[in-house]
Structure 1
Amino acid sequence: MTTPSLLWLRQDLRLHDQPALIAAAHAGPVIPVYVLDDDAPGDWAIGGAQRWWLHHTLASLGESLEKKHSKLIVRRGDAVEVLTALMEETGADQIHAIRHYEPWWRKAEAALGDRLCPHDGNHLARVEDVKTGSGGQFKVYSSFWKALNQMMPPGDPEPVPRTIPAPAHWPKSETLADWDLLPTKPDWSAGFDDWTPGEAQALKNAKAMAPIVEAYDIDRNMPSIEGTSRLSPHLHFGEVSARTVWHAVDGHGDATTFRKELAWRDFTDGVVLTMPDYGKANGRPKFDALPWRTGKGAEADLKAWQTGKTGYPIVDAGMRQLWATGWMHNRVRMITASFLVKHLLIDWREGERWFWDCLVDADYGNNAVNWQWVAGTGVDSNMFGRIMAPLSQSEKFDAGDYIRQWVPELAKVSGEAIHDPDESGCRPRDYPAKIVGHREGRERALEAGRHAR
């Protein structure tokens, strides 16, 4: 029998449009492998919400492979060491994998050397190929989009291989139960029941965008009608490819805004390719001098923000939705992030770390670039002095029903008062007063910005 190959799976947990799988199956017997490596990522080992998703998506992928008379081998440990040991154990002579751009995965790929056969497949175009006129990676999204759009549309998605050749002997596998990925004491995942991890649901969600893509430009900003795609965790775990999503909306009107959001993921990987420490280092070093608040007062405010008890209804609704479901509406993500950084003057990295642990779609590049965009510290970002007004944002985007859903203390507050019950004189006793005034927070942030400059 032909020597087997390892198929190293990471954030590409699918069979459809999976170039590494296609190449491995063409070469001969395939041994699909997922390695839970909590050491290589360091501070970015996957958080609690992602672990919940990972358990279910690996279970789903395992079932799909079994239908193809294949198996998913799962092992825990240092990815390079585990893969090296599996090659010796099985006689595999090569490892097929889709390229990843997180710094720890790039380091692992380099360590595997010529044993690794890398493939492109998680992006609309190969990240290294979308270059500036001088040959570098883009640091400004608008310029990146213009260059990428000239390379579009991406190629057609590839179908699932008709057969996945199996090896003569399968190596031993750990079980998902061994990994304790699901929360138990306590089980905080009751609100995650609305999610269905796995490739089948990812493809359904992609197809569901077609009839609503034209309304996406407006509806994506409206928390109460949730006009976003909810594809982000499926894309993060690679349950569906970016080009599959791109083509899912072909022929359904103007999909430009939606496709720009899809392309943002490519852009953020380009940023961390050239700035691998972007998750912890300011993109603009002058902001290293920004006087973030510390001490007991800041710690108490951070806790109020994390638990949705700031006295700002739109902020509290978003933070409670995040904790309950592992996800937050995109417009509200910007509002809550701006509130932490500007109104509370708390380091964006505190927010980035909280989102990393709580989001099912927490992605290294996306998370870091988004936080630095809001904070004004990034290479392509808002000016630090641009401060979102959460109360007016709430009213502008008609978030009343969204607030009533996630902040039950305010469920009976009617009309426009829902956006600022404190000012309207109808704040219920069990709902907190604002922890900082809008004007006070704004002036403090502007002064901090002046100090940094």
Structure 2
Amino acid sequence: MSTSTLVWFRQDLRLRDNPALTYASERGTVIPLYIFDTACPENFVPGGASKWWLHKSLGRLNDSLDNQLHCAKGDASKIIIELIQQHNIKQVVWNRAYEPWQIKRDTLLKQTLVEAGIDVQSFNSHLLWEPWQVLKKDETPYKVFTPYYRRGCLSKPSPRMPVDTPHNLQVEYIPQLDKGLDSLALMPDINWYSTMQEMWTPGEQGAAKHLSEFLPNGAEEYKNKRDFPDLGATSKLSPHLHFGEISPNQIWYAAIHALNGNTEDVGLDCYLSELGWREFSHSLLFHFPHIPQKNFSPKFEHFPWRSDDKSLKAWQLGQTGIPIVDAGMRELWQTGTMHNRVRMVVGSFLVKNLLIDWRKGERWFWDCLLDADLAANSASWQWIAGTGADAAPYFRIFNPVTQGQRFDPQGDYVKRFCPELAKMPDKYIHNPWDAPQNILDYAGVKLGKNYPEPLVDLKASRLRALDALAQSKQQPEEITGKV
């Protein structure tokens, strides 16, 4: 009988502040295992950018474990049951995952193992508060962020304190269990990730580095600078958080400590509330597991989305002719991320100016984002589309020109990702179609040739969106009667 504990790594690819690993190490040797679960529903298989990050992150975790991380690919539940039977393992631990299919898998697996006499323990390492802990007085889930966070989360006991890397961690390595990292086949066949590789350092050490570089000045100045995409004022921790290379507890307390515990500091409060939005997204997904596919608000079930593959493709490639939108979409493709303010602008443009279903935007982000997270991606797209919980009203349509003028006044962000506009003066950098011909000639910009004409007229497309909203408010039978 093996006296070691099987530690199933999932979205917790770190040694520090890893409750399952700490628990197991206190009881003896551990068998660290990662499984790329092929039983995952097709829609939730990680996208290309996420797979690249996962490969790199697992490599760093393997290094931390002295090359003793066991890697396997297949149906995770079947693999674990077979390992337990073959090696007579009596203890299994993991940290909880929160996607609906994962909850279902883990619940069934735990029941099977317990019935077989296996000691199974699960822990919270991914959230500050469990989704079932933060409820309204009537025990129903919150649907509005501010009361969820201010009245719900902050009234609960403080998040648990982080724990250090287990001392004297002892690993039992079983060669026949380890198929090797390359067997997971996560790396893309084509090297399109070179820019990402230069920019990012996946893994626990990379996460710690980003956090230390952000604090303390970043947290203090976060509220005033976070909306300006060229300032680099965000923490860049989102992909590290998604893969569990750092815990939200580590970030929460490091930020508070960096500002000497002054939780009333407006910058710190704003930054911590962003962790609160992450919690809110997970709460919504937990309580309303349909939100990745269905509108949270049923009144949008009859919304007249357009089917326009040509416009969708132009949006995906950053060829809409709207500079701030194109810059954001090119940033996404080149770097695997996009500034949050710009995410709202490009999302609004897709679902309102182009009238294309938010789910098509969500799918593109899912494949391209390094931090593609089902809870955050679903909740955020529904927020900008006006279809979600506590969403921005659909009639709140971002004007990408004024957004660019306000948050990228010199056009530095646009010029970085749209170099064909590099010589455009500030006055016209966000609306080159309004520039006199002599200005365009000076800047070397030929609309429709080396930079696209606008895909739509912003004013006309805004009115079209408002008309679509009015149409969607009619009863289904009324709509049917007009056809």
TM-score (norm 1): 0.95
Q: Using the alignment, how far apart are the partners of 1:328 and 1:133 within structure 2?
A: 37
Q: Which residue does the alignment assign to 2:73?
A: 76
Is the Cα–Cα contact under 8 Å of residues 5 and 93 in structure 1 kept in the other structure? yes
Quote how far apart the aligned CAs of 1:258 are: 0.4
1:176 counterpart = 2:153: no
Alignment of 1:254-333 (within 5 A): 254=265, 255-294=268-307, 298-333=308-343
Alignment of 1:118-137 (within 5 A): 118-137=122-141
Quote how far apart the aligned CAs of 1:130 are: 1.1
Q: Using the alignment, how far apart are the partners of 1:396 and 1:42 within structure 2?
A: 40
Q: Partner amino acid for 1:236?
A: H
Secondary structure of the corresponding residue to residue 89 of structure 2: coil
Is the Cα–Cα contact under 8 Å of residues 89 and 171 in structure 1 kept in the other structure? no
Q: Partner amino acid for 1:442?
A: R
Quote how far apart the aligned CAs of 1:387 are: 0.4
Is the Cα–Cα contact under 8 Å of residues 73 and 183 in structure 2 kept in the other structure? no
CA shift in 2, pair 1:138/1:170, >3 Å: farther
1:420 counterpart = 2:440: no
Q: Which residue does the alignment assign to 2:24?
A: 24
Is the Cα–Cα contact under 8 Å of residues 13 and 61 in structure 2 kept in the other structure? yes
Q: Which residue does the alignment assign to 1:143?
A: 147
Q: Partner amino acid for 1:248?
A: A
Q: Which residue does the alignment assign to 2:240?
A: 234
Q: Using the alignment, how far apart are the partners of 1:243 and 1:435 within structure 2?
A: 44
Is the Cα–Cα contact under 8 Å of residues 210 and 237 in structure 2 kept in the other structure? yes
Is the Cα–Cα contact under 8 Å of residues 2 and 88 in structure 2 kept in the other structure? no
Equivalent of 2:165, from 160, 165, 186?
Answer: 160
Quote how far apart the aligned CAs of 1:171 are: 4.1
**Which sections of structure 2, spanning at least 5 residues, go unmatched?**
114-119, 474-483
Quote how far apart the aligned CAs of 1:166 are: 2.7
Q: Partner amino acid for 1:158?
A: V
Q: Which residue does the alignment assign to 1:378?
A: 388
Q: Which residue does the alignment assign to 1:62?
A: 62
CA shift in 2, pair 1:122/1:168, >3 Å: closer
Q: Which residue does the alignment assign to 2:117?
A: none
Equivalent of 1:243, from 230, 249, 253?
Answer: 249
Secondary structure of the corresponding residue to residue 32 of structure 2: strand
Q: Partner amino acid for 1:17?
A: D
Equivalent of 2:191, from 169, 180, 187?
Answer: 187
Which string of whole-angstrom CA distances, capped at 9 and with x for unpartnered residues, describes residues 80-106 of structure 1?
A: 111111211222123211111101110
Q: Using the alignment, how far apart are the partners of 1:32 and 1:423 within structure 2?
A: 60
Q: Using the alignment, how far apart are the partners of 2:289 and 2:359 within structure 1?
A: 15
Is the Cα–Cα contact under 8 Å of residues 2 and 29 in structure 1 kept in the other structure? no
**Which sections of structure 1, spanning at least 5 residues, go unmatched?**
none
% identity of equivalent residues: 40
Q: Using the alignment, how far apart are the partners of 1:72 and 1:90 within structure 2?
A: 17
Secondary structure of the corresponding residue to residue 4 of structure 1: strand
Q: CA RMSD in A?
A: 1.5
* Rg larger in structure: 2
Quote how far apart the aligned CAs of 1:38 are: 3.3
Q: Which residue does the alignment assign to 2:400?
A: 390
Equivalent of 1:217, from 208, 220, 223?
Answer: 223
Which string of whole-angstrom CA distances, capped at 9 and with x for unpartnered residues, describes residues 434-453 of structure 1?
A: 01011111011111111111
Q: Which residue does the alignment assign to 1:446?
A: 466
Is the Cα–Cα contact under 8 Å of residues 157 and 244 in structure 1 kept in the other structure? yes
Q: Partner amino acid for 2:39?
A: D
CA shift in 2, pair 1:138/1:109, >3 Å: same
Q: Partner amino acid for 1:125?
A: W
Q: How many residues align?
A: 446
Which string of whole-angstrom CA distances, capped at 9 and with x for unpartnered residues, describes residues 180-220 of structure 1?
A: 32223x31111102100000111121222222211101211
Quote how far apart the aligned CAs of 1:78 are: 1.1
Q: Which residue does the alignment assign to 2:102?
A: 105
Q: Partner amino acid for 1:120?
A: N
Quote how far apart the aligned CAs of 1:2 are: 5.7
Q: Partner amino acid for 1:174?
A: K
Q: Using the alignment, how far apart are the partners of 1:121 and 1:127 within structure 2?
A: 13
Q: Partner amino acid for 2:384?
A: V
Q: Using the alignment, how far apart are the partners of 2:353 and 2:174 within structure 1?
A: 60
Q: Using the alignment, how far apart are the partners of 2:38 and 2:465 within structure 1?
A: 37
Q: Using the alignment, how far apart are the partners of 2:183 and 2:176 within structure 1?
A: 17
Quote how far apart the aligned CAs of 1:151 are: 2.6
Quote how far apart the aligned CAs of 1:277 are: 1.7
Tell which deviates more after alignment, 196-205 or 20-29: 20-29
Is the Cα–Cα contact under 8 Å of residues 4 and 91 in structure 1 kept in the other structure? no
Quote how far apart the aligned CAs of 1:7 are: 0.9
Q: Using the alignment, how far apart are the partners of 1:169 and 1:287 within structure 2?
A: 53
Equivalent of 2:204, from 196, 199, 203?
Answer: 199
Q: Which residue does the alignment assign to 2:91?
A: 94
1:408 counterpart = 2:419: yes
Tell which deviates more after alignment, 245-254 or 416-425: 245-254
Q: Using the alignment, how far apart are the partners of 2:175 and 2:3 within structure 1?
A: 13
Q: Partner amino acid for 2:97?
A: H
Q: Which residue does the alignment assign to 1:340?
A: 350
Q: Which residue does the alignment assign to 1:363?
A: 373
Quote how far apart the aligned CAs of 1:168 are: 7.4
Which string of whole-angstrom CA distances, capped at 9 and with x for unpartnered residues, describes residues 295-352 of structure 1?
A: xxx1100000000000100000000000001000110000000100000000000000
Q: Partner amino acid for 1:93?
A: K
Quote how far apart the aligned CAs of 1:170 are: 4.9
Q: Which residue does the alignment assign to 2:53?
A: 53
CA shift in 2, pair 1:197/1:168, >3 Å: closer
Q: Using the alignment, how far apart are the partners of 1:423 and 1:169 within structure 2?
A: 67
Tell which deviates more after alignment, 115-124 or 41-50: 115-124
